[in-house]
Amino acid sequence: MKKMFTMLLMALLPLGAMAQNKSSRTVQAAKQEPITQVIERGLKRAASQSLLLANSMKNHPDQLPQTYEHGELKTVRYDNWVSGFFPGVLWMLYDYTNDEQYRRLAHHFTEIVEPAKKLYNTHDIGFMLYCSFGQGYNLTAKQYYLDVIYEGTQNLLCRWNEDLGVFRSWDFGKQWQYPVIIDNMMNLEILCFMSRQYDDPYYKEVAEIHAKNTLKHHFRDDFSSYHVVSYDTITGLPHAKNTAQGYSDNSAWARGQSWGLYGFTMIYRETRNPIFLEQARNIATFLMNHPRLPADKVPYWDYDAPGTENGNCLRDASAAAIMASALIELSQFDRTEMGPKWMELAEQQIRTLTSPAYLAEEGEQGGFILKHGVGNMPAKNEVDVPLTYADYYYVEALMRLKRLQSPALNGGGQGSGQASRP
């Protein structure tokens, strides 16, 4: 009898444990803030913080915000790679609020970036002009914005090497013959935009060749990527694979991995070439399954940096924001069982970024939105600070989510996710 009772108890125990697990999951789910509320909270904070930042910029005419360090606002000129992000944030907030005040501010800061159209010594024309003038054009259809993009893109084309099939990233670094960084994938979007606007396939053709060569030479077997690949101008093959901002040549620098994920998702959207979707899925799988991706899904600044094994390492909010925005778009293209999983991961990241651990309090951080970014750890530059590009991709991710929650809103600017419709 006693034996029978013990057997019955043992048979029922797992059911009891399951029921307990289920009920604690139900309580957890019931306690979780609805994602629509998270999105609104994030966007409202972004809107109020950005007004504060715009106001402090009055003391820095002709400059754009970069970061806030040791209680001090740091700004840059139009020719810094980050110049277009704050105007872009303001455009997206104009899209969100429909409030003229944001349009005026967005236009004002966009104008400051205008001289960047004359630059021919950087590949970052895409970041500078597409995030500012591109956002402005997509929302207002103002010809002047398109004209600036046109001029800037002609200079970007000067960096195209027909024989190598890539755009040159940097003009510095004597050890490199023809350096291309993974970030450069992001500068292909402005080229695809040009093809659409001017009905000229050339821009997109060269963008696609660059993406194919990046796919071939930048990735390791596990789908992590090198930061810098330099091409031998005689053989056309890589002669060096290094890092500049990561922990080591062979490590997975977190923001670089996010640029790759975003870049291949975007180039798939623009070309519909399935090899790019496959590459984006492979990168996303590497990141999602990474043993050192923390439970709250905000990556360490480098997946291989010392301290990642015991949680004693700085996070990079910008890597999380870029990754979340990319995953939201990828989730719409990927028709396999992984589609909803990309979205789930992105939502987890957005929830973490919208928590007090990362979201600046009202009036905090000089008006920047997110805390805890890492710009350039090896150079000890911008370490554990807000970053204007972390804010940009965070707001973009929120707007993309918002569009998906309320499809009736579709038809806004690029940051709204409109361009990301499959």
Instruction: Quote the strand ranges of 318-392, DSSP E.
Output: 373-376, 381-385
Cα–Cα distance, 67 to 283 (Å, whole number): 29
Distance CA(316)–CA(175), nearest Å, equals: 28
CB of 55 to ligand GLY, least distance (A): 27
Binding of ligand GLY by 290 (CB under 6 A): no
Q: Which is nearer to ligand GLY, 80 or 331 (CB)?
A: 80
Site for ligand GLY (CB under 6 A): how many residues?
5
Q: Which is nearer to ligand GLY, 81 or 368 (CB)?
A: 81
Q: Would you count residue 253 as binding ligand GLY (CB under 6 A)?
A: no
CA distance 360 to 42: 10
- Distance from C-alpha of 321 to C-alpha of 394, rounded to nearest angstrom: 5
Question: How many whole angstroms separate alpha carbon 199 and alpha carbon 207?
Answer: 15
Q: Of the candidates 78, 81, 178, 219, which one interacts with ligand GLY according to CB under 6 A?
A: 81
| Catalytic one of 147, 171, 183, 232 | 183
Residue among 95, 124, 302, 316 flagged as catalytic: 124
382 binds ligand GLY (CB under 6 A): no
For residue 19, the 8-state DSSP code is H
Annotation marks residue 163 as catalytic = no
Strand-by-strand arrangement of the 179-181 sheet: 179-181, 228-231, 238-242
Q: Which residue is nearest to ligand GLY (CB)?
A: 183
Nearer to ligand GLY, 350 or 387 (CB): 387
What is the Cα–Cα distance from 375 to 383, expressed in whole angstroms? 6
- 183 lines the binding site for ligand GLY (CB under 6 A): yes
Which of residues 183 and 334 has its CB atom nearest to ligand GLY in the complex? 183
- Residue 325 engages ligand GLY in binding (rule: CB under 6 A): no
The length of the chain in residues reads 422
> Look-up: residue for tokens 């939502």?
347
Residue 80 binds ligand GLY (CB under 6 A): no
Is 343:277 a contact under the CB 8 Å cutoff? no
Here's the x/- map for ligand GLY, 208-247, by CB under 6 A: it reads as -------------------------------------x--
Binding interface with ligand GLY (CB under 6 A):
81, 183, 245, 255, 375
Q: What positions carry a catalytic annotation?
A: 124, 183
